[in-house]
Amino acid sequence: MRGLFISVEGVEGSGKSTHCRRLGQWLGARGLEVVLTSEPDGTPLGSAIRGLFEKDGGPPTPLTQTFLFMAARQQHIAQVIRPALGRGAVVVSDRYADATLAYQGFGRLLDLDRLRWLNDWATDSLRSDVTLIFDLPEELGLTRARSRNSAAPVDEGRFELEDLRFFRRVREGYLSLAASEPDRYVVIDASGTPEEVFERTLDVLRKRGVIS
Ligand code: TMP
């Protein structure tokens, strides 16, 4: 029996990690085996790869980032996702292949067809059954993310224009992926309280027949 693979995406500050945990708890409370995981750090190797992004010596180039995320993804598939799906579990992954399309493709402007090809190679063409995209205007997402990471009050005027443009491209990238394959992607309005957003998530999953 093949389980169910749900991947969860969104820009910084969209609350996706909180909603992953909630969804995992909700499904677990209904007696399902749930494997809650994430990229790039869903395996020890992936965690080590995430650590490489923080090394001194300058940020990795977009293409270097791509290869690092792909390496983490292949290991994640082999060690965590495929075995769990093989047991019939529900896998909820906080980011997966669409993150590379949105961030390195739409955000950093690398060629989308090549990224798709690399994703297919790294994952043996394993796609998620459903991809939830928690959507929020980039200004709001960055405000939320920064107020979480710093005690200082957040002044939207201080955002670097470059950051805003990058996150706008990422957001628009996710929305355009969703428009191109509406059966697999579910866009969820991530504004409002966590409770409201979670209710919206359950509603849309029920309407799609993913949960009952
Ligand atoms: P987060 O999921 O905790 O927000 O952090 C993951 C960061 O890594 C986030 O900035 C998005 C980025 N990322 C990519 O740029 N490409 C990828 O393929 C993945 C998995 C993550």
Per-residue pLDDT tens over the stretch 134-183: 999 988 998 888 887 765 544 444 568 888 999 999 999 999 999 999 99
- pLDDT value at position 1? 62
Ligand 1 in contact with 39 (CB < 6 A)?
yes
C-alpha distances in Å from residue 62, one per residue of 96, 112, 147: 17, 13, 27
- pLDDT value at position 188? 97
- pLDDT value at position 146? 83
| Sheet architecture: strand order including 90-94 | 34-38, 90-94, 4-10, 130-135, 185-189
- pLDDT value at position 153? 47
Ligand 1: which atom is nearest the Cα of residue 96?
A: 20
Ligand 1: which atom is nearest the Cα of residue 70?
A: 18
Substitution site in 95, 132, 142 for ligand 1 pocket (most atoms within 8 Å of beta carbon): 95
Question: Which residue is closest in CA terms to ligand 1's atom 18?
Answer: 100
CA of 209 to the centre of ligand 1 (A): 29
Ligand 1: which atom is nearest the Cα of residue 97?
A: 18
CA of 124 to the centre of ligand 1 (A): 21
**Average pLDDT per block of 10 residues along the chain, 212 residues long:** 92 93 97 97 97 88 97 98 98 98 98 98 97 94 82 53 92 98 96 96 94 90
Ligand 1 in contact with 166 (CB < 6 A)?
no
- pLDDT value at position 156? 45
Ligand 1 in contact with 14 (CB < 6 A)?
no
- pLDDT value at position 5? 97
For residues 176 and 169, give the distance between their C-alpha atoms in angstroms, rounded to a whole number.
10
Nearest partner of 17 among 37, 42, 47, 40, judged by Cα = 37
SS (H, E, C) 177-211: HHHHCCCCEEEEECCCCHHHHHHHHHHHHHHCCCC
- pLDDT value at position 6? 97
Ligand 1: which atom is nearest the Cα of residue 107?
A: 15
CA atoms in the 13 A half-sphere facing the CB of 25: 6
- pLDDT value at position 160? 80
Contacts of residue 114, Cβ cutoff 8 Å, sequence gap at least 6:
none
- pLDDT value at position 58? 83
CA of 85 to the centre of ligand 1 (A): 23
The reply to whether the predicted model has a pTM over 0.85 is yes
C-alpha distances in Å from residue 9, one per residue of 16, 83, 135: 7, 22, 9
Q: Are 7 and 97 in contact (CB under 8 A)?
A: yes
For residues 123 and 121, give the distance between their C-alpha atoms in angstroms, rounded to a whole number.
6
- pLDDT value at position 35? 98
| CATH numbers and ranges of domains, the chain | 4-207 (3.40.50.300)
Helices within the chain (DSSP H only): 16-28, 44-52, 62-76, 82-86, 97-100, 112-123, 138-149, 161-180, 194-207
